[in-house]
Amino acid sequence: MEDEEWQKQYHHNRVASPHSALAMLKEVYLTISPSAERIYVATRIHGFVTRRGDSYTHQTSEHSKNPYEKLEWLILKSMDLDDKGEQEKTLATIKLAQITAATLNDPDLDALLLLKQCKTNLALGNYFISEFYCQSSIKQLEKTSSHYIDIKWAYRLLALSYQGSSNLEAALTANEKALSFSKPYDINDTSYSNIATLLLNMGHLSRAEEYGKKALDIRIKRNIPQKIAQSKILLAKINLTLAKYDKAESLVRSALEGLQESTHTYSTSLAYYTLGSILHKKELSDEAIEFLLLALKAQERKSNATLTINIHQSLSQIYLEYQNPNKALEYIEIAIEKSKTAQNQIELANSYLFQSKIQELTQDYKDALEAQKKYRETLDLIYAKNTRKAYEALEFRNSVIKTEGALIETLQKQTNQQLNFNQNKYLFVLILIIIAMVFLAITLRSSHWLKNKSTAVKPLTDNSNHCR
């Protein structure tokens, strides 16, 4: 898999002929014996298949006697669970894999499992711990200049970890680092899209649009409708922020056309929400409400909590501007309840703040002050939670380092003991050889002495007979 020509052909086929690209991966898998490398290839096949809506067929068993085959089953099982959104079970399965892997002392396998830990903790919102696992994996991978595990993957996950903890500058640096490892034939639409999103959040709109267009160009060539739509939605959001409302509307309507046959409800709902936000800015409130309600309907089957909260917040804002404070209060109260259910403290704080604004405008000052108090308390909780998470991650990091240090010390002791044992064994063997040589020398000397003595006695016997 490290062959340059193979990589070029594979990346070409990913765009031009996905079935051929998958066949190439399967062919490589069959040529490798059970190992960390074969497990990595299997994870790529799994991702390739499941991203296109198909199911992965396991090639190994959890009951296999070969540890690498058992690990392959566990790691791919964790990916199955991740696809179902069962992150706690995913994490438990990865930990089982790490127990088995600990006996193999395989750095490549350790790096792969660290990446899996990073990705799962990221999905669980454990951003500081996710960052630690990503950094640990990168440290392992950087020991080799050319590696079959793609280090860009590690840096992209690291960027998302930083982004989750609101460290946007570090996230941007990590994404740019991922791009620095790219080859001319690499497909970088995901990196470009991630960078565009970061730059949008940081307020660097011109650069955000530049990277968003790069991602869209690649995705049009790849001809994956869902990805094309996602890029158009992102560009629509950038143009919305730039107050280019007509361009933003054109982009998001084009995205909705591409999503007509899609089962990806989140993208459809996000497109409706973005269109509703654009129409709101264009002061077309009735149409804005219509599309925001469509966004809610698209979310019914598979709800994304944050997006659902944002839709209710937008509806509340429009109804307040519509001079309908009762309806505005109704929607913001739904947003508050959904924020509590999702344990989304940031959106809860935003909702309390807007609730206080509605109550202030209706001269309900007592409730407005109560909402303001809840807003400040929620902000304090966010700060305390982030501080606690950072502290827990630091403690976890120190614990891992301490454990690794103890393990290294134990291994060193075992090595020294083995060395001493070997030295003693060699000394014992040497002593035995010396004793054997001494014994042999004594035996030979005794034999020689007896022979000489026998020779000396024989003439005397002859002389005695002669005298007689």
Identical fold, 1-146 and 304-393: yes
The mean per-residue pLDDT over the stretch 162-175 comes to 90
Return the higher-pLDDT residue of 73 and 410. 73
**pLDDT at residue number 334:** 96
CATH classification code of 1-146 = 1.25.40.10
pLDDT band at 392 (very low <50, low <70, confident <90, very high): low
Domain ranges (residues) in the chain = 1-146, 304-393
Residue 220 has pLDDT above 80, yes or no: yes
The mean per-residue pLDDT over the stretch 69-96 comes to 92
CA gap 358, 340 in Å, rounded: 20
The mean per-residue pLDDT over the stretch 130-139 comes to 92
Residue 126 has pLDDT above 60, yes or no: yes
Length of the chain equals 468
Return the higher-pLDDT residue of 263 and 232. 232
Q: Kindly report, residue by residue over 256-297, the tens digit of the pLDDT.
A: 999 988 777 888 999 999 999 999 999 999 999 999 999 999
The token pair at 237 is: 């959001």
Contacts of 338 (CB under 8 A, 6+ apart): 305, 308, 309, 312
Task: Identify the helix (H) or strand (E) that includes residue 406.
Answer: helix 365-467
Cα dihedral 263, 264, 269, 275 sign:
negative
Per the CB < 8 A criterion, the answer to whether 111 and 149 are in contact is yes
**pLDDT at residue number 452:** 59
Return the higher-pLDDT residue of 143 and 355. 355
Q: What is the DSSP string of 13-82?
A: HHHH-HHHHHHHHHHHHHHS-SSHHHHHHHHHHHHHHHTTTPPPPPSS-TT-SSHHHHHHHHHHHHHHHH
Per the CB < 8 A criterion, the answer to whether 289 and 315 are in contact is yes
Radius of gyration of the chain from its Cα atoms, rounded to whole angstroms: 35
Per the CB < 8 A criterion, the answer to whether 129 and 57 are in contact is no
Give the CATH fold of the 304-393 domain.
Answer: 1.25.40
**pLDDT at residue number 421:** 57
pLDDT band at 154 (very low <50, low <70, confident <90, very high): very high
Q: What's the number of CA atoms in the CB half-sphere (13 Å) around residue 450?
A: 6
**pLDDT at residue number 319:** 95
The mean pLDDT of the chain is: 85
- b or e along 426-438 (b: 16 or more beta carbons within 10 Å of the residue's beta carbon)? eeeeeeeeeeeee
